[in-house]
């Protein structure tokens, strides 16, 4: 279940070593590819592995550094791409037979930004079909990724390969997308860090969408420091993204070690203690995040908003309705090419009446105001990123969100930035994740709080044992 070494450095560690000439990008890539060769047949995190391309890019990166052209902390760093982002010269499938021959003629905006920063793409990563989360399926184009902590358990979705590959040390960071927890859930389930930035902060151009009003793109990494390094490159206005907002991008990295003394932390406990009674291990772990921050100078309080089921109900109307609207033509004309599970989830959206959708959007505005009110008093909000342990990989529930409320969707509804961190462990050694929520456009504070917790709690010293 656990090991004493992840097998690869963090992005921050590797960046310092590469810049100082102590680590070769070629050596780093070879190390990652060796781990992939050894463990990927079991984990199944990839759709496509770019072994030759990654080695060639590493050789180029090494020559550039030797010539004095160092591009920054992502130069020579192996990154995985969730298979929903346009990548010129390669197919983008979203793990669906509907898309198995689709090839974009340009790169996604985030792909361009990572490449310009010197990152090396090591492969395209597994996802739930058309990013519709819930539970993994065996009826899509590719089989599901497995959780490196226990290969019989789910990674969470939909950025399943991204969570698995970072946890397994196949690459140092990965791109995910999030319309209802698809960055945060696999980050929590796989024991890594993941950032859903403020809606509009990172360009979604070239990201195959699930929802018009929820979809976000962000980094998935081992630490929040690494998330800050990636977000620094990913963030910024892009006129091609209709949801993009032209607002300054702050320095996410410099304030990380400023500490949390004087910050006010609001614990949103009733989501996991009253609205849904999570296992005691989760309650203790999430409460422990607040206690750790209090120990290093933050002020702790407790907030109350509408019951979790209200948030869940609004999300369960808006998300399927928008997903159906996006995929309606293919559902009508290419019905048999969808996996039954993804198809059935989308078809729920065909039953949503216009009046229901409008009323849900009205209620969404009211719920947003509740979080805004809380964040007027507190600098960040902390709640759980999961309500149950990681389910078995072969869980048969077709609509798991009908059994357990969606704990991540409240902050898709409100658009606020959220960082997922490892908060602790279940008694069986599986990781537990927490959400740290901040004010819109204030990812810097969220990341600072997350980094302070990780540094002081010591939870990241445990690693999956892949042997």
Name the domain count of the chain: 1
- 79: containing domain: 2-464
Give the pair of three-digit tokens for residue 110.
Answer: 């985030």
**pLDDT tens-digit readout, 17-48:** 999 999 999 999 999 999 999 999 999 999 99
Q: Any alpha helices (H) in 296-339, and if so which ranges?
A: 308-333
Provide the pLDDT for residue 395: 75
**How does the average pLDDT of the chain come out, rounded?**
95
Decide: 466 and 453 in contact? Cβ < 8 Å.
no
**pLDDT tens-digit readout, 398-441:** 666 567 899 999 999 999 999 999 999 999 999 999 999 999 99
**pLDDT tens-digit readout, 101-150:** 999 999 999 999 999 999 999 999 999 999 986 677 888 999 999 999 99
Decide: 82 and 176 in contact? Cβ < 8 Å.
yes
Whether residue 461 has pLDDT greater than 50: yes
Question: Which positions are catalytic?
Answer: 82, 158, 182
Q: Is the previous residue joined to 117 through a cis bond, with omega within 30 degrees of 0?
A: no
Provide the pLDDT for residue 401: 58
CATH code of the domain covering residue 34: 3.90.1300.10
Q: Find the angle CA(55)-CA(182)-CA(121) to the nearest 5 degrees.
A: 10
Decide: 143 and 129 in contact? Cβ < 8 Å.
no
């Amino acid at each position: 279940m656990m090991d004493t070494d992840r097998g690869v450095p963090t992005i921050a560690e590797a960046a310092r070593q590469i810049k100082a000439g102590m680590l070769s990008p070629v050596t780093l890539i070879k190390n990652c590819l060796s781990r992939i060769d050894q463990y990927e047949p079991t984990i199944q995190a990839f759709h496509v592995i770019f072994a030759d391309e990654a080695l060639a890019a590493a050789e180029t990166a090494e020559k550039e550094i030797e010539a004095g052209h160092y591009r920054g902390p992502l130069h020579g760093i192996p990154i995985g791409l969730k298979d929903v982002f346009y990548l010129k010269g390669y197919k983008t499938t979203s793990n669906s037979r509907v898309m198995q021959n689709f090839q974009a003629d340009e790169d996604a905006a985030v792909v361009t930004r990572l490449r310009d920063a010197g990152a090396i793409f090591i492969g395209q990563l597994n996802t739930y079909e058309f990013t519709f989360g819930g539970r993994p399926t065996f009826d899509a184009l590719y089989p599901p990724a497995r959780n490196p902590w226990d290969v019989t358990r789910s990674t969470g979705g939909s950025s399943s390969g991204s969570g698995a590959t970072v946890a397994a040390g196949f690459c140092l960071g990965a791109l995910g997308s999030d319309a209802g927890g698809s960055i945060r859930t696999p980050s929590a389930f796989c024991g890594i860090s993941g950032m859903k930035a403020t809606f509009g902060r990172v360009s979604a151009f070239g990201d195959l969408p699930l929802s018009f009003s929820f979809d976000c793109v962000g980094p998935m990494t081992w630490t929040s420091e690494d998330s800050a390094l990636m977000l620094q490159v990913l963030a910024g206005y892009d006129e091609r993204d209709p949801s993009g907002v032209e607002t300054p991008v702050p320095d996410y990295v410099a304030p990380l070690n400023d500490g949390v003394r004087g910050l006010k932390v609001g614990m949103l406990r009733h989501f996991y203690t009253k609205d849904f009674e999570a296992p005691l291990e989760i309650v203790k772990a999430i409460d422990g995040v607040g206690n750790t921050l209090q120990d290093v100078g933050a002020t702790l309080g407790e907030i109350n908003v509408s019951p979790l089921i209200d948030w869940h109900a609004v999300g369960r109307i808006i998300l399927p309705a928008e997903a159906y609207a996006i995929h309606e033509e293919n559902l009508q004309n290419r019905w048999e090419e969808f996996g039954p599970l993804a198809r059935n989830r989308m078809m729920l959206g065909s039953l949503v009446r216009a009046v229901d959708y409008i009323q849900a959007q009205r209620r969404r505005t009211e719920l947003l105001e509740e979080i805004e009110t809380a964040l007027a008093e507190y600098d960040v909000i902390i709640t759980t990123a999961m309500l149950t342990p990681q389910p078995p990989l072969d869980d048969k529930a077709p609509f798991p969100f009908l059994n357990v409320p969606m704990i991540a969707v409240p902050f898709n509804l409100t658009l606020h930035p959220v960082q997922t961190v490892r908060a602790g462990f279940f008694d069986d050694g599986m990781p537990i994740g927490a959400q740290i929520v901040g004010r819109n456009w204030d990812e810097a504070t969220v990341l600072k709080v997350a980094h302070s917790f990780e540094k002081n709690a010591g939870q990241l010293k445990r690693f999956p044992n892949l042997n």
